[in-house]
Chains A and B, each alone.
Chain A
Amino acid sequence: MSELSYIKRPNRGLKIYAAAFLTVLYVPILFIPLFSFNDSLYVKFPLSGFTFQWYIELWERSAVWDSLGNSMRVGVAVSIISTILGTLAARAITRSRLPGQNAIVAFVMLPLVIPGIIFGVSLLILLSRLGVSLSLYTVTLGHLVVCLPFAVATLLPRFEGFDKSMEEASADLGENGWFTFWRVTFPLVLPGVIASLLLTFTISFDEFIMAFFLTGTDATLPMFIWTQLRFPQNFPSVLALASIILLVSFLLVFVALWVGRLGLIEPEESQS
């Protein structure tokens, strides 16, 4: 490292740029909580006073609680299912030599590189041709398609990262495949599983495009926000709701990324 230092001399210009970059990345989002405490119907400067009014208003509206419940149910179902499927898939991809597995992985990752609207309308067409009415179940299916690639992408490095000889040792000592998985493999990939659960929950919780096309009468939280945007008098309470969602999302994702990467950077830690 040290002999490289003349190449990697601290670069003041770049440092300032990085600081500016992070500022621009975060400041726009921070205006939402800022104005959610502002005592005015209008989002503009100067700020007119501090209030909890919009949060109290939010608390009293049953539609908010209903859509929160819907989003939670969809999010929990999606995160559990996609993490289980992602774990099985990541295990298969890393442990067996499968003909055509590159093509399979590319296929599973496809939603990352196709505009969401295409999936949304395709699923909508399929469901309507089958005569399935739109509900939270259809939203869940849509979210599964969106979340599965992220679950696999989060779990794959985990399965690749740990020492295979542990599994082999377990097998040599007479454990069968199932016990080896539960007692050796699973604890080793657990951080990846937790990261995947949290990430897929957050993605589903915040997802809008699929929900837009696939929601029936029960709105998810982002759909609720979308419909509220039409009413200017509800704007401040939408800001309050958005602030809460942002805070929760940031916390969940931060924990997910932290837990998910911990063991990858310092492998010895994850094995303790």
Chain B
Amino acid sequence: MADVQMSSAPSARSQRPSGLRSMLYKSETARGYLLLSPALLVMVVGMLIPFTILIAMSFWTRDGFDFDTTMSMANYQTAMDVPIYNAFLARSFWISGITTVATVLLCYPMAYYVAFHVHRNKMLWIILMTLPFWTSYLLRVFSWKVILGYEGVINSGLLGLGLIDAPLEFLLYSQTAVIITLAHAWAAFAILPMYVSLEKIDRSLLEAAADLGDGPARRFFRITLPLSIPGVISATFLIFIPTTGDYITPALVGGPNSPMIGNLIQLQFGAVNNWPMGAALSVILTLWIAAVGLVFLFVTRKSQESVV
């Protein structure tokens, strides 16, 4: 969704004299910016300024109930020195990394199916796949609590059928539960970009390959998969980034071993009440996400170049 295509249209006023035309063009540009300005204003006030202040605050320190606004690296130093911060960060990346890989792998065949094998009611399929994504995130996480719980659907169901003697404890309050819940919650976000790039593939390439004697497997690995990689990359980003910052899922279905960096940040703004530390952790998370993203992009670029 982030790579929305744009077609900037030249205004069709070619018959007019060139002086007037450039004036019109200028006013058109000015009008364009004018139309954009309310949206930009909201984003500046709601995103850019707050984020700038977040960065500033991350260099402050807590001083009783107030802040010491002299700039210092103390929070970053703490974040580096105290092992628990790094552990939380590493765990966040581990959990959302697994979630991302699992989601992309599971969603790819689905996107493929709709792109290549659904010929009627395509739109209905797309809507069906993305519908749950738009509904309450909290409630979708909540539904997994109901399912995976100690006395939840799975455990009580299996107990009732006599398949197990005691509730399976690994289900709720574990990293597994967090990963299952996250993968389920973000599936639609993975399907859409992959579907779009699969749908765009020129079918005559596949036809040509078939005519030249390639079997289905070779056609897939030599044509379909390489051409759909951009969709896979966007899907990876769109899942990895928001899941690393998630804190609701670990809070609801996670156990002692699954709080993520988001939970730690939330604590700093809640019970712990150390806002500057929370701000520093937010900045660190953002920087790490950017770094991981750039490396990932670089590696995939390189490997794609080597394919071509």
Contacts and interface: CB of A to CB of B under 8 A. Distances in A.
A118 B43 contact: no
Contacts of B153: 31, 43-45
Given A153-B4, A246-B139, 19 more contacts: A10-B117, A28-B140, A85-B38, A93-B32, A95-B32, A96-B32, A114-B245, A114-B286, A117-B245, A117-B246, A122-B54, A125-B275, A126-B49, A157-B4, A160-B5, A202-B135, A205-B136, A242-B143, A250-B131
Nearest to B43: A108
A28 B184 contact: yes
B262 to A, nearest CB: 5
Contacts of B17: none
Nearest to A213: B269
Contacts of B46: 119, 123, 141-142, 144-145
A245 B203 contact: no
B1 A109 contact: yes
21 contacts: A8-B116, A10-B117, A25-B129, A28-B144, A29-B143, A43-B151, A85-B38, A94-B6, A95-B28, A98-B33, A105-B6, A112-B1, A117-B246, A121-B282, A125-B50, A164-B9, A229-B252, A246-B139, A253-B131, A253-B134, A253-B135
Given A11-B117, A115-B246, A141-B46, A254 B269 contact: no
Interface string B250-274: 0010000000001001100100000
A226 B139 CA distance: 10
Interface string B124-157: 0011111110111111101110110101110111
A65 B57 CA distance: 38
Contact of B134 (A21, A121, A239, A249): A249
Given A21-B106, A99-B29, A257-B130, A45 B160 contact: yes
A203 interface: yes
Contacts of B143: 28-29, 31-32, 242
Contact of A261 (B123, B265, B266): B123
A101 interface: yes
A15 interface: yes
Nearest to A91: B35
A80 to B, nearest CB: 13
B42 interface: yes
A134 to B, nearest CB: 12
B137 A94 contact: no
Interface residues of B, number: 101
Interface stretch (B76-84, B225-233, B236-244, B299-307): B236-244
B50 A123 contact: yes
Contact of A208 (B131, B207, B248): B248
B39 A249 contact: no
A156 B2 CA distance: 12
Query: Range of interface residues on chain A?
Result: 35 or more
B194 interface: no
Contacts, number: 301
Nearest to B141: A208
Contacts of B28: 95-97
SS class, residues of chain B in contact with chain A: helix
Would you call the interface of chain A mostly helix, strand, loop, or mixed? helix
B282 A7 contact: no
Contacts of A254: 127, 131
Interface of B: 1-2, 4-12, 25, 28-29, 31-36, 38-40, 42-43, 45-47, 49-51, 53-54, 57, 106, 109-110, 112-114, 116-117, 119, 122-123, 126-132, 134-140, 142-144, 146-147, 149, 151-153, 155-157, 159-160, 184, 187, 203, 206-207, 210, 219, 237-238, 241-242, 244-248, 252, 262, 265-266, 269, 275, 278-279, 282, 285-286, 289
B110 A21 contact: yes
A75 interface: no
Contacts of A122: 47, 50-51, 53-54, 282
Contacts of B40: 89, 104, 107-108
A102 interface: yes
Residue among A101, A119, A125 having the largest count of chain B Cβ atoms under 10 Å = A125
A14 B279 contact: no
A118 B8 contact: no
A209 interface: yes
A69 interface: no
Nearest to A264: B123
Contact of B32 (A22, A92, A124, A258): A92
A18 interface: yes
A35 interface: yes
